[in-house]
Chains A and B, each alone.
Chain A
Amino acid sequence: MNINVNGESHNVPENCSAKALVEMLNMQNDKIAMEVNREIVPRSQYDVFTLNENDQIEIVRAIGGG
């Protein structure tokens, strides 16, 4: 199924979990936060949170800024 991650379209398996997505993106060791359809999914729930077709996902991190 197609989902949108950080403005880009991605194809992922049906019933893909947030955890699986993070691993697919090789971010499992990074300090990140995730929003799915504008709702934050806590890190503790990545393994039980299932993604759906056309979900709009934002994954953010901390970078240098003033």
Chain B
Amino acid sequence: MNDSFTVAGKTYQSRLLVGTGKYKDMYQTKAAVEASGAEIVTVAIRRTNLGQNPGEANLLDTLPADKYTYLPNTAGCYNADDAVRTCRLARELLDGHNLVKLEVLGDEKTLLPNVAQTYLAAETLIKEDFDVMVYTNDDPIAAKRFEEMGCVAVMPLAAPIGSGLGIQNPYNILTIIENANVPILVDAGVGTASDAALAMELGCDGILMNTAIAGAKDPVLMASAMKKATEAGREAFLAGRIPRKRYASASSPVDGLFF
């Protein structure tokens, strides 16, 4: 069964997307990303270190462009201007690559999105021909608006970034999915494998996580768990689960009882 997913005109086999932050070193980054089976990886755009050691391992060499699709993010941006500026630099850096993850944060403690600023950034980026995968909250109205503006994917959070709380609002995520005509990926707040499976069972097209893997005691093992959980959740969704019922329904027939 071909269950690939397509975003911004490119088709992928893996529905698990991973971040590349918070790892111990490049070896661990590479091992974990490989174990996850992810094909799309997020990267951050930051100043070069001017006194940099020229022998220092480089992320783009560790995760080469022929194997991975980069998703530069606008992490750390608290207003639309900074986010747009970051995307333009990312595109220049990555030789005209148009795919970006737009996030505009509202608050340092919760890292929840400033949706109003995100709308402004998305509008500008879409006019400049970026393919915008937008991080937002689990508000179905906001999600629909981002889709209608022309974002190529909408990415509602499960819970605050790095919180590991898992999906806090499954019914909102479900509503977003039911009303969407673009891929919906849960992004942020995933904690462990069951959270990934749950997101996929709701019908998400994909899931994006960083801390859940990089922050685990054994990141490479967790990456493997997440790969399986994403696949399991997706299969369960496609298989069509049984309904939840108030009372029991026996699995063995009553006919032929001998007592």
Contact = CB atoms under 8 A, between A and B. Distances in A.
B48 A32 contact: yes
A65 B58 contact: no
A8 B48 CA distance: 12
B60 A31 contact: yes
A42 B210 CA distance: 31
Interface residues of B, number: 36
Contact of A33 (B44, B59, B93): B93
Interface centre among A27, A30, A58, A60 (most CB of B within 10 A): A60
A8 B49 CA distance: 11
Interface stretch (B83-91, B145-153, B165-173): B83-91
A62 interface: yes
B21 A65 contact: yes
Contacts of B21: 64-66
Given A33-B92, A42-B92, A66-B19, A61 B46 contact: yes
A63 interface: yes
Contact of A65 (B20, B47, B93, B209): B20
Interface of A: 5-8, 25-27, 30-35, 38, 40, 42-43, 58-66
